[in-house]
Copies of this chain bind each other. A is one copy, B any other.
Amino acid sequence: MGLIVQKYGGDALGDKGKGKSGGGDTSQLYGAQFIAEKFLHVAHVVKKTRDQGNNVVVVVSAMGDATNRLIAMAQSIMKNAPARELDMLMSTGEQQAIALVAIALESLGIPSRSFTGHQVGILTESLFGKARIRSIQTERLESTIAEGIVPVIAGFQGATADQEYTTLGRGGSDITAVALAAAIRADVCEFYKDVDGIYTTDPRVCPSAYKIDRISYDEMLELASLGAGVLQSRSVEFAKNYGVPLHVRSFLHDNVGTWVVPEEKEMEDVVVSGVAFNRGEAKITILGVPDTPGIAAKVFSRIGAKGIVVDMIIQNTAQEGHNDISFTVSRSDYDAAIAVAREVAKELKAREIIGDNTIAKVSAVGVGMRSHASVASRMFEALAANDINIQMISTSEIKVSCVISESDLDDAVRAIHRAFEDKRSTPTIDMG
C-alpha cells in the first residue's frame, strides 16, 4: 500500500512531432478513436496500480503537440503575444487532458476528479511563462485521496495569489509532479515515457548502451544538463531537494525502468554512469586579449545581455600580457554571439576572433569519479586511441566534458562507453 504520483507526458496522450502547426489539439490529425485509445491506456495503467493497493495521483501534460500548436495560433495573430495571455491560452492544453483522463478513469469504474493547478492549490510567483512554485495547499488533494477518488492534476500550471494563471516553463509538468509528490509525501513519483528508462548513452549512437537501474540525483542532474533529455534538470533538482524517489519507466510495458534516488554506497562502484553528448554547439575564441582585470566580466555580460547562454569558458595566458578566451554557446546562438564578440574584441583591442560552429560536446558522468582516480585520463586516452582531437576540457566533481569536432562525436561516444564498460557493476537492487 503506497501513495504514488504518476506523471503522463504528451507522448502518452498524443503523438509528439507529428502535428502540424496552428492548432490546439490533436484530434483532427489522429481521429477520435486514436485519442480514446491513448486515454484509456493511461486509465488502465492507473487502474492496475490502484488494484495493487496503492493510492494514485495522476499528473498530465497537454496532448501531443497541443502546447506548440496553441502558441502557433497566438503567433498567427501577434508575433510577441503578452506572456500573460499565452499562459491563459496554453493552460487549456492540460485542462483538456485532465478532463479526458478523468473521463477515461470513470469509464473503467474508477471514481476520479480533475483539477487545474489553481484548483489544487499550486501557488506560483507571478512570472508568466516561467513561474516558480511558491507553495502547494494540499488540503483538497488529500481529502480527495481520502475519499478514494483519483485526482487528475494539470501539470505545467499554477496561479498567483491574485488568481492569475501561470505556466511553469519548459519541463513544467515534471516539476508539478515532483512538487506534488513532495507536498503529499508520496512514496514515488513515476514518469511514464516512451522510453524504458535512462540509458548509459543513446543506443542509436552506441548499440552497447543499456538501461541504468539506479542513478543518483547528482548524476541525473549532470546528464540532464548535458543533453540527455529524458528528465529536465529543474524537476530532478526539486526531487533531490525534497528527497522524492523518481522512477522513469515506459507506458508501453510493466518493466522496471530507472530509479533516480539519493546517492547510495554501491553507486561509487560504478565509475561512469552515463555518457552524455550534445551535437548542436559552437565555439568562439577571442585571441590576444589584454590581461587586465574585468575583461572576462565585460565579454560575458555583453553576451548575457543578448540572452545568450554560455556553456564552457576557458581562459589561458597565451603570451606576456595577453590572454586567449574561448567559450561555447548553443549553435543557434552562434551568429549572434560572434557578432557581440567582434564588437567587444574591437573595443578591447583584441587581436583576432576565431569561430567554429561544427563542434560537439561529450561528457562522462558518475559519482564513482570521486573515489576512482584517473577517470579523466582514461577518457582522454580512449579519444586519443581513436585519433579524436580534444579542443576544450571542463570538469566537475562527477563529470568530465570534452569539446571535439562534431564529425568525431559518434566514434567518441562509443569509445568512451567502451572504456568504462568494464568498470560498471550490474545493479542488483530492485524496488519495482
Binding site for B on A (CB under 8 A): 20-25, 27-29, 31-33, 35-36, 39-40, 69-70, 72-74, 76-78, 81-82, 84-86, 88-89, 91-92, 95-96, 98-100, 102-104, 106-107, 112-114, 116, 118-119, 163-165
Contact = CB atoms under 8 A, between A and B. Distances in A.
A contact face: mostly helix, strand, loop, or mixed: helix
Contacts of A77: 35-36, 39-40, 100, 103-104, 107
Given A24-B24, A77-B104, A78-B106, 18 more contacts: A22-B32, A23-B27, A24-B25, A24-B96, A27-B69, A32-B73, A33-B76, A35-B76, A70-B96, A74-B103, A77-B100, A78-B103, A82-B106, A85-B103, A85-B113, A88-B102, A95-B95, A119-B164
Nearest to A103: B81
A99 B74 contact: yes
Contacts of A20: 28
A23 B33 contact: no
Contact of A74 (B21, B95, B100, B164): B100
Contacts of A98: 88
A110 to B, nearest CB: 12
Contacts of A39: 77
A88 B84 contact: no
A336 B20 CA distance: 45
Contacts of A73: 25, 27, 32, 35, 96, 100
A102 B82 contact: yes
Contacts of A21: 32
